Amino acid sequence: MPLPVQSLRLADAREADDLAAFLARLIHYDRAAAVRMQAGGGALAVFGRPPSFEVLAIRTARLAEAVAFDVTVSAGELLESLSGAECAVPGEVTGPPWAGVLPPRGGWRELPGLPQVREMRGAVAAAVAEFRARDEALPDERRTRAERDRIGREIWSRTVGGTGLPLRAVHAAQSLGFLRPGVPVALLTSGTWLRLRTPYGSVALRTADPSSGLGGLAVTPR
């Protein structure tokens, strides 16, 4: 779809620096990463999906002026276009499947039971150590990608605290720089989605079985 703007001005250079850091982390996991950009009401939301974590990562930024558009672009090209608080909007790319199904914009309510940040970071560190130990203990004949994937799924599917949030979502938040020591965090739910929100960004994931249909998902045709 045609873009109503060719460039953006973020509210200040710090917003641009935070967005650049987010994009760089996405590219670290996938050099060909795409992101979906949605602007409206003086704010920009950028959605990405780092491989292996099975979550959507969301970074927002304040804009210096109100614009409205919705486009999927190359994360690398977007990063290269950032210059101070200025940001050129790259040409649209064919979006990956996840870009057509985003978390709902409203209807979120907070859930209890989320551990403190220190506990969650400790749980991630313990899980990484466990995976390495179990991987090293595998005999040569079982040291396969399938066996490592099985161990990884077992560990990262565990939930944190008294919530249904899988540990892989916490790992993603930490790896993307969202889960920093001492920051306030919240666990939210809306329909079939869970969202771990921090001041530096959010991760969201579906809780329903994808084979059961779209249910209450927010689907935007592309």
> Which residues form the domain of 89?
7-102
Q: Is residue 38 part of a domain?
A: yes
Whole-structure pTM over 0.85, yes or no?
yes
Q: Is residue 131 part of a domain?
A: yes
| Tokens 């602007």 sit on residue | 39
The verdict on 89 and 162 lying in the same domain is no
Q: Is residue 31 part of a domain?
A: yes
The verdict on 137 and 88 lying in the same domain is no
Last residue of some domain: 53, 75, 102? 102
Residues in CB range of 69: below 8 A, 6 or more apart: 3, 4, 5, 37, 38, 39, 89
The verdict on 213 and 155 lying in the same domain is yes
3-state secondary structure of 135: helix
| Chain Cα centroid distance, residue 102 | 11
The verdict on 157 and 139 lying in the same domain is yes
Please give the chain's pLDDT, 222 residues, in tens. 444 567 889 999 899 999 999 999 999 999 999 999 999 989 999 999 999 889 999 999 999 988 899 999 999 999 999 988 998 899 999 889 999 999 998 899 999 999 999 999 999 999 999 999 999 999 988 989 999 999 999 999 999 988 999 999 999 999 999 999 999 999 999 999 999 999 999 999 998 643 333 333 333 333
Question: How many structural domains are present in the chain?
Answer: 2
The verdict on 93 and 115 lying in the same domain is no
Q: Is residue 1 part of a domain?
A: no
Q: How many CB atoms sit inside 10 A of residue 136's CB?
A: 8
